Amino acid sequence: MTHDHEGQRVSRRRLITNIGLGSLGLGSVGFGGLLGVRGAGATTVTTSRDLLAEARACAVTPAVTKGPFYFDANQIRSDIRDGKPGVRLRLAIKVQNSTCQPLPGALVDLWQCDASGLYSGGERGSMIEHVESREITHDRTWPDLKPTDGKRYLRGAQLTDAEGVVEFTTIWPGWYPGRTVHIHAMVHMGGTRALTTQLMFEEELNWQVLSRPPYVQHRGRDTLNASDLYFQNGLLLTVVEDGDGYWGAIILSVGS
Domain span at residue 224?
A: 33-254
| Residue 4 within any structural domain of the chain | no
| Residue 247 within any structural domain of the chain | yes
Q: What is the pLDDT of residues 185-198, one digit of tens each?
A: 999 999 899 999 99
| Residue 241 within any structural domain of the chain | yes
User: Looking at the 3D structure of the chain, how many domains does it have?
Assistant: 1
| Residue 21 within any structural domain of the chain | no
Query: Please, what is the end-to-end C-alpha distance for the chain in angstroms?
Result: 33
Alpha helix stretches (DSSP H) within the chain: 12-18, 48-54, 126-132, 203-210
Residue 37 neighbours by CB distance under 10 Å = 17
Contact 208, 138 (CB under 8 A): no
**Which is nearest to 6 in space by CA: 27, 24, 40, 29?**
29
At 140, which CATH number?
A: 2.60.130.10
CA distance 11 to 74: 6
| Residue 22 within any structural domain of the chain | no
pLDDT at 125: 56
pLDDT at 222: 95
pLDDT at 158: 97
| Residue 26 within any structural domain of the chain | no
| Residue 10 within any structural domain of the chain | no
pLDDT at 5: 38
Q: What is the pLDDT of residues 95-110, one digit of tens each?
A: 999 999 999 999 999 9
**Which is nearest to 159 in space by CA: 54, 17, 7, 47?**
17
| Residue 16 within any structural domain of the chain | no
Residue 75 neighbours by CB distance under 10 Å = 22
Give me the mean pLDDT over the 71-80 stretch: 95
254 by DSSP, 3-state: which? strand
> Would you say residue 64 has pLDDT above 50?
yes
The residue with greater pLDDT, 20 or 207, is: 207
